Amino acid sequence: ELARISQVTRQTMHTSILSLETAGLVERIAKNQRVVLVRLTARGRNRLQTATRRVRAVEHAVLADLSRQDERTIRAWLASLAAMTPSPGNAQAEPTEEP
């Protein structure tokens, strides 16, 4: 489910989860053979809070000189761009040119 939501392959998500687990940021709990829950550890929560504060600070600095309307326009454009992003299986390595 995480792979689907993140639009990456299951193998990519599995590798990412293993890396986060090795770093002590998440833990996996098997509910059965098909369902494995992943949750943040205390260290992972601290790291996420730190990263969130940094992202918010950058976001605030970038948007500080914009009008409310300009900020809404940029946020709408970014949301639209994110929605248009193809899943990894459908992404092209290089843009194609029309003849």
Domain spans, the chain: 1-40, 42-86
According to the model, what pLDDT value does residue 87 have? 55
According to the model, what pLDDT value does residue 72 have? 93
Low pLDDT (below 70) residues in the chain:
85-99
- The residue written with tokens 């500080």 in the block is 64
Distances from the Cα of 16 to the Cα of 27, 29, 67, 83, 97, angstroms = 12, 16, 38, 23, 34
| Confidence (pTM) | 0.63
